[in-house]
Amino acid sequence: MVSLLSRGVGVLVKSLVGLSCAQAGRCSSLPSALSAVQCTTARWFSKNPVLPDLPKAPLKEPPKAPLSSFFRFLRHQRPLLSRKYPEASVTELVKIIGSEWRALPEAEKQVYVDAARVDIMKYRELYKHYKESLDPLDLSVLQQQRKKKLERRKLKRQKMEHKLFGRPKRNLSAFNMFMTEHYSETEGNTMFEKGRNLRHQWENIPSSKKQVYVQLAEDDKVRYQNELKAWEEQMIEIGREDLVRKKEKKRLLNKRFAEVNTKPGKRVKKKSSQHKNREE
């Protein structure tokens, strides 16, 4: 009688809790089965039920972009040159490898180019299947990440071009002027400690001394604005309008257009009175 009752309770536990056959088999005795039912009902009717941890699907990683032909050559030559020049830095090794790559015969260079082309074709196919396997939400996240990555790359390239074309350095603030003058003599073992001490000194110096650095900062701001204006006009002349600030680009282009049209032998087209009346 007791065994039949325990079997019946075991079947009931299996149907209510959703246990597997192996787990239900463990409830061979009546007390264990009753405790399982009691635990289950308490979990059902409690105000804060404990939900089971659902298995999370692994994140899908995009395929890695292949190496270019030059970086294949770099990976092949770097260990050889490291043994040949053990005291050379990474920058010096890259310069040596770059000169060797430029001097490499076309037949030998084509081997790396062909290998890179094959890997690029494989990568494009893998990336295509990867995008097709994503749901709309993951695809939207991927597109946003790619957009941010392209913006960072564009900003980095623009900074490099600014440095290459000699864009004027930004003006310093009054505190930066003070910090540049007193940094070496300030106590502190780290940059953070020195900066904290300099900030404390700056907040406690008299207003008369602080005004000196404020005036220096104003003069440096005027210097920066004048140099930047001349530099942007030069960029317009050489056809690099993309390096000019948006708010200044239109003004400088209109100025350049007016200068070209007012040269000797050229006349600026004037609107007729009839056309003006139509506009009015």
* CB 127, CB 62: distance < 8 Å: yes
Question: To the nearest 10°, the Cα dihedral for 138, 142, 144, 146?
Answer: 180
Give residue-wise pLDDT tens across range 58-95.
Answer: 346 788 889 999 999 999 999 998 998 888 888 899 99
pLDDT at 37 over 90: no
Give, rounded to a whole angstrom, the gap between the first and last alpha carbons of the chain: 106
Tell me what pLDDT residue 136 has: 87
Region of 271 please: left (phi>0), alpha (psi -120 to 50) or beta.
beta
Would you state the torsion angle of the CA atoms of residues 96, 97, 98, 100, taken in this order, to the nearest 10 degrees? 90
pLDDT band at residue 47 using 50, 70 and 90 as cut-offs: very low
Class of domain 174-261: mainly alpha
Between CA 164 and CA 189 the distance in angstroms is 35
What 3-state DSSP class applies to 275? helix
Tokens of 24: 């239900």
Interval 109-129: pLDDT, tens: 999 999 999 999 999 998 888
pTM of the predicted protein model = 0.48
3-state secondary structure of 48: coil
Confidence class of residue 246 from pLDDT cuts 50, 70 and 90? confident
- pLDDT bin (cut points 50, 70, 90) of residue 132 is confident
Beta carbons of 76 and 116 less than 8 angstroms apart: no
Whether the Cβ atoms of residue 43 and residue 49 lie closer than 8 Å to each other: yes
**Which H/E stretch holds residue 91?**
helix 90-103
CATH number for the domain formed by residue range(s) 69-164: 1.10.30.10
